[in-house]
Amino acid sequence: MIYITRQVKFSAGHRLYNPKFSDEENERIYDKCNNPKGHGHNYTLEVTLCGEPDPEIGYVYDLKKLKNIIYQEIIEKVDHKNLNEDVEFLQGVIPTVENLAIKFWELLEGKFGNAKLYKIKLYETETSFVEYYGGSSNDK
């Protein structure tokens, strides 16, 4: 099994809060990430596919095609946007890095022919990130 990864970057703003909670509870849970005017991050997204190289071309999946799909399905929709207000597929979702990874997976799953989506790794900062394997059947 071969694993290939494409890394892309985007910038976006958001506010972490749950409308079911009081202002005090949101402040306690989300601290400065609950700023009513929001805050931003420079995210790094890594998408990993796995499979066997095609014997005719030698690729598991063409990395240029992978980049194009990531841009079309995700980056064009989230880059320089307010994740709470501007992104249709995130409506009603608390835009934590965990929830973003899950939603990104949903947008990408099944789009790579014989290659399988293996992992989404999303950095919110240089030192904080989440890895998502699409559910318990893929967990590593």
Q: Among all residues, which ones are annotated catalytic?
A: 33, 80, 124
3-state class percentages of the chain: helix first, strand second, coil last, to nearest 5: 30, 30, 40
DSSP state for residue 36 in the 8-state scheme? T
Q: Is 134 helix (H, G, I), strand (E, B) or coil?
A: coil
Task: Give the CA distances from residue 65 to residues 4, 111, 113, in Å, rounded to whole numbers and listed in that order.
Answer: 12, 10, 11
